[in-house]
Structure 1
Amino acid sequence: MSENITLNNGVEMPALGFGVFQTPPEETEAAVAEALTVGYRLIDTAAAYGNERGVGAAIRASGLDRSEVFIETKLWISDYGYDEALHAFDKSAGKLGVDQIDLLLLHQPLTSDFDRTIGAYTALEKLLADGKVRAIGVSNFMPEVLARLSETGVVPAVNQVEVHPYFSQPAVQKADAEHGILTQAWSPIGGITFYRDGQKSTLENEVIGEIANRHSKTPAQVMLRWHLQQGRSAIPKSVKPERIAENFDVFDPSTSSGQRFELTADELAAIDALDTGVRSGPEPDSITLESYGRDIPEA
């Protein structure tokens, strides 16, 4: 049974979700169907992923009531601006096959043309006021950019950013908390981390491995527990049924030793200490229409 988090506007959202970043469109429906069968009730996608249609198809085929599945998607920078973002909602909702999206985010800050970013966020506020979305937020917004949204009226409910043991972004998490914004971790188990100077994958890290052995859990499960216990949402991804099930198995009441699976304060601190301060994803300020713009299809 999943845990829920209450957003700053009172909407409840599952703490652990299923992501489909880089999941090929032809594999998305099967992966999401497996995740829903396992018990995930939050599915995260994005217009730029090109797989919203597969997400919607899996949800419809699941037999679950629409109210039981929390759908989260993101608008791409090519659709920023007020009117453009309103239309982008229509495109995403159409592909997902829904009238209402539970959480709609701006995928990246467009710092090179921030007026368009403000216009897009203002459109999100309009969609929220009209009941077409239940909550709104942002992704990859650093504290100084987040502060520039102050001229808008609605505080984002979520800031989805890269967070894993090798890059935990404490300053971003602190700024989010100060504004009552939930930090949601993409790449929560360090799936995109690079091997720099002989650095091992988070899945092969000795500290995480020792903690996992102590709890009879896997390194991935330890990292997801680390996120949840520190109040973050996390959206791991996989197309492998065994991994999909494994990642969700962090809510069980006890381990084989009879002890509840919960990390100690020392274990949480040991994972925190692994932070390198080195980002694996692109620098948010480097995202421009010239380098990252792409047309988001109508259907």
Structure 2
Amino acid sequence: MTTFAPVLQLNNGVGMPALGLGVYQSPPEQTVPAVEAALREGYRLIDTAAAYGNETEVGEGLRRSDVVREEVFVTTKLWLTDYGYDEALRAFDRSLAKLALDYVDLYLLHWPVPSAFDTTVAAYEAAQKLLADGRVRAIGVCNSGTEDLTRLMERTEIVPAVNQVELHPLFIQRELREFDARFGIVTQSWSPIGGVNRYGGGADQGTDPLRSPTVVDIAEKYGKTPAQVLLRWHLEHGLSAIPKSVKEHRVKENFDVFDFALTDDEVAAVDALDGGRRGGPDPAKVRLDSFS
């Protein structure tokens, strides 16, 4: 019997699976089998982006699967060099063509750009049009802090449905999560098991939550892996998480988190690992030429 992730209700009534497959840094040739494996295992959320360079392969993985399109929640993202109203609409058309889909379930602005906020607003207004036209089912943002969200909501009509941010036990973003919840915005975690701290190598117990004695002890108690404990921690907090892997056994392992639950004390113990240290780029310092 196939197990499915719980569904989170977005602020526009659309349901989004709480756990999905991320494909950041997934090589195109490995993305198709990873998507196929995920859908076979029970995943129903696939998260990609224009900047990842694998939208075409995500679409191919969807087509090769036996799962019907309507059952899969597909997210893609607008890259910041395509911000602006007309530019965003054209970029969305390119993404949709690469995915070979008729619509996208969630369309996100990939980064806030405080130094060029007018273009950020214009891009979000384009996303609002896509929503009104039925070409996307929900819209939102990534990597946005409370000030970014406040400024955006002051100048646009639709409250973002999702804010996808770096979030893991070493960087729990409590204040931002509380802000999101106040406005009905679902917080979605990228790098949910702290992978951003391992990309460059050299991570230790203080910078790799998978090696934390606290997490290892909890994993041993439940007969689970540290990664499974961390993903369960996200679910206990009501977050959405999108772990990335192209290895079929890891894809399967990351989804095997629905047969146990953490106690309140265990959740608090993992919370206590927070050092407030970001592993990825600081959104406040992002400029239009930052990633061009």
Q: Which residue of 2 is the match for residue 169 of structure 1? A: 173
Within the candidate set 75, 89, 102, 2:78 is matched to 75
User: Deviations along 1:15-40, whole A, 9 cap, x unmatched?
Assistant: 10000000011211111111111111
Within the candidate set 44, 53, 68, 2:47 is matched to 44
Q: Within 5 Å, give how 1:1-299 maps onto structure 2.
A: 1=3, 2-150=5-153, 151-193=155-197, 195=202, 199-252=206-259, 261-293=260-292
User: Deviations along 1:160-201, whole A, 9 cap, x unmatched?
Assistant: 000001111111111111111000000000011155787252
Write the distance in 1 (CA, Å) between the matches of 2:245 and 2:205.
Answer: 25
RMSD of aligned Cα (Å): 1.2
Write the letter of the residue equivalent to 1:175: F
Question: What is the SS of the residue equivalent to 2:66?
Answer: coil
Q: Which residue of 2 is the match for residue 296 of structure 1? A: none
Moved more, 168-177 or 13-22: 168-177
Moved more, 155-164 or 63-72: 63-72
Write the distance in 1 (CA, Å) between the matches of 2:282 and 2:205.
Answer: 23
User: Deviations along 1:113-138, whole A, 9 cap, x unmatched?
Assistant: 00000000000000001100000000
Write the letter of the residue equivalent to 2:282: E
Write the distance in 1 (CA, Å) between the matches of 2:205 and 2:265.
Answer: 26
Deviation at 1:251, TM superposition (A): 1.3
Write the letter of the residue equivalent to 2:268: A
Write the distance in 2 (CA, Å) between the matches of 1:56 and 1:109.
Answer: 27
| Structure 1 residue runs of 4 or more that deviate by more than 3 Å after TM superposition | 194-198
Question: What is the SS of the residue equivalent to 2:238?
Answer: coil
Deviation at 1:90, TM superposition (A): 0.4
Deviation at 1:286, TM superposition (A): 2.0
User: Deviations along 1:59-80, whole A, 9 cap, x unmatched?
Assistant: 0110221101110011000110
TM (normalized to structure 1)?
0.93
For structure 2, the 5+ residue unaligned runs are none
Question: What is the SS of the residue equivalent to 1:13?
Answer: strand
Write the distance in 2 (CA, Å) between the matches of 1:179 and 1:168.
Answer: 19
Write the letter of the residue equivalent to 1:96: L
Question: What is the SS of the residue equivalent to 1:221?
Answer: helix
Write the letter of the residue equivalent to 2:212: N
Question: What is the SS of the residue equivalent to 1:292?
Answer: coil
Write the letter of the residue equivalent to 2:88: A
For structure 1, the 5+ residue unaligned runs are 253-260, 294-299
Write the distance in 2 (CA, Å) between the matches of 1:156 and 1:230.
Answer: 20
User: Deviations along 1:199-228, whole A, 9 cap, x unmatched?
Assistant: 252111100011111111111111111101
Moved more, 151-160 or 188-197: 188-197
Write the letter of the residue equivalent to 1:164: H
